[in-house]
Structure 1
């Protein structure tokens, strides 16, 4: 080493090799110490932020849980209260008196015997408009309030036996309507579009209560559901009511009436007049007879056709080829004259 070269820093008496790293100076040691402390501070900063993030996630989870519980409570409330947010559900009831009306040799049953002959589907205008918006006869008038036409026939009835009978009869349409009268009586009319007249008879039979031994409660096969549960329809079947199932070719028409002020099934009254009047709901089918080349009864187009309507004309419940629709006489043997309930 030349005397003019500065000596290499380091320990006295030891020459540093070129491959050895230079020992850090005091300034470098201080910088490294600050860097380590700064790194620890940054790490500490991240640890301080983690609790905040955890609290945010917990808040979101609690909020989601509260919303889910509210939704579940709402669903359970409507499910168990039978309330769908405004519209009341119809009650599963049946009439105190039920009869099947079947005229074996009628012109209607011949012309409308099957859906193969009568292929045109029912429509709302045909069933619920024109003359069926208001139905009158027998000195009694009804006004249409609710109506429904659906391809889901099971939605128009309750009871497994009746639902099964509709499926077996290949039901493709079910129409229902509610009617109110100023003469203190209300009713429901239902029509089912079935494959043939045999299916119509089978469904009518399926709605009958089975015969049982005295004191034995029969298993209810089911019946028609009202399209509305609003007052007074929410009381249908809880008071004394009567229904006729009228075989109308491959259609089954069910007419069900009840006095507005009836509160017990034991309050027996004659319901012949309202049953006969609401049976005029079948007038659209008389028009179909004419469309298919049959002989429609006079006045059918004007809504006054009366062929096959049970008891039409005299209010006695007797019609050509029909069973009577009068109620059975009371236990004391007295028979009330047919009249409008509530008079």
Structure 2
């Protein structure tokens, strides 16, 4: 049964200088490529928690009255309303430092044939645009975030813009290439909208609905020296009808993360 978004709760602010919190507990997704157990973005259980925690933030005063979404922000200072980071990096010890994985990624690697069309949770998405930036500051906003990206050796940010076939949802896949896993964990802390430190600019795609300042949900994960973010929004920024809708819509956007497992296989074979 679908769970309505109706409860008013509070987003917990995280101290950017504190030790990482425990993992959000996302479950392995069957059928994924790569060695060993995997904790992947998109698991339904943790997103239920993330959306339940922030559900009330998208309402005005509770009582079921939904906030009207703001107009398109045109790549301006947008952060997700729901944000859940996973700091564990389980199974990624051999990929914890860029020294072992020095080759820069390319758009073709991250958004290859398998990432052009994504399906899952009853939703299907098409890649509308992709980009790999070597200037991390140019595709982010927020002085604190940009400072920490530079401090911890950000060398690349990949962004992919996805649109669902029914045009109801838009998604952003983001991969950030950092010097090491500790730097990734710090970036996940400062990406938390509760810190007001900044976020990655959503990639605009010609003819696709733009991300807005309405409701959106993001899940961020530590993949060795890569930070990976899956970010989804109902087109126009409206609240999802219920948690089930939001969960199902978010599942496919994790797909391009498969490039990390290929990288892990390469370093494990050395």
TM-score clears 0.5: yes
Q: Secondary structure at the match of 1:240?
A: coil
Q: Secondary structure at the match of 1:116?
A: helix
For residues 172 and 100 of structure 1, the distance between their equivalents in structure 2, rounded to whole angstroms, comes to 21
Equivalent pair of 1:207/1:221 in contact (CA under 8 Å): yes
Q: Which has the larger strand fraction?
A: 2
The answer to whether 1:251 aligns with 2:226 is yes
2:185 corresponds to which residue? 201
1:90 corresponds to which residue? 75
Q: Secondary structure at the match of 1:203?
A: helix
Q: For each residue in 1:241-281, what CA deviation from the matched residue of structure 2 results, as whole angstroms up to 9, or x when unmatched?
A: 10011111100111110112543xx6663222233321122
Q: Quote the offset at 1:119 in angstroms.
A: 1.4
Equivalent pair of 1:244/1:275 in contact (CA under 8 Å): no
Match 1:222 to one of 198, 206, 209: 198
| Shift in alpha-carbon separation, 1:126–1:267, aligned structure 2, 3 A | closer
Q: Quote the offset at 1:102 in angstroms.
A: 2.9
Match 1:147 to one of 120, 130, 136: 130
2:51 corresponds to which residue? none
Q: Which runs of 4+ in 1 moved over 4 A?
A: 229-233
Structure 1: 5+ residue stretches without partners: 1-87, 211-218, 295-343
Structure 2: 5+ residue stretches without partners: 1-72
The higher relative CO (CA closer than 8 Å, separation ≥ 6) is in 2
For residues 264 and 199 of structure 2, the distance between their equivalents in structure 1, rounded to whole angstroms, comes to 28
Equivalent pair of 1:90/1:233 in contact (CA under 8 Å): no
Equivalent pair of 2:79/2:193 in contact (CA under 8 Å): no
Equivalent pair of 1:96/1:237 in contact (CA under 8 Å): no
Output the aligned Cα RMSD: 2.1
For residues 272 and 147 of structure 1, the distance between their equivalents in structure 2, rounded to whole angstroms, comes to 23
The answer to whether 1:100 aligns with 2:85 is yes
Q: Quote the offset at 1:113 in angstroms.
A: 0.6
Q: Quote the offset at 1:167 in angstroms.
A: 0.7
| Shift in alpha-carbon separation, 1:257–1:249, aligned structure 2, 3 A | same
Q: Quote the offset at 1:190 in angstroms.
A: 1.2
Q: TM-score, normalised by structure 2?
A: 0.66
| Shift in alpha-carbon separation, 1:268–1:204, aligned structure 2, 3 A | farther
Q: TM-score, normalised by structure 1?
A: 0.53
| Shift in alpha-carbon separation, 1:166–1:239, aligned structure 2, 3 A | same
For residues 229 and 175 of structure 1, the distance between their equivalents in structure 2, rounded to whole angstroms, comes to 14
For residues 182 and 261 of structure 1, the distance between their equivalents in structure 2, rounded to whole angstroms, comes to 15
| Shift in alpha-carbon separation, 1:258–1:237, aligned structure 2, 3 A | same
2:165 corresponds to which residue? 182
Match 1:124 to one of 107, 131, 147: 107
Q: For each residue in 1:187-243, what CA deviation from the matched residue of structure 2 results, as whole angstroms up to 9, or x when unmatched?
A: 111111000001011001011134xxxxxxxx6211110121756543x24221100
Which of the two has higher C-alpha Rg? 1
Match 1:278 to one of 243, 253, 262: 253
Q: Quote the offset at 1:140 in angstroms.
A: 2.1
| Shift in alpha-carbon separation, 1:245–1:167, aligned structure 2, 3 A | same
Q: Secondary structure at the match of 1:257?
A: strand
Aligned residues: 194
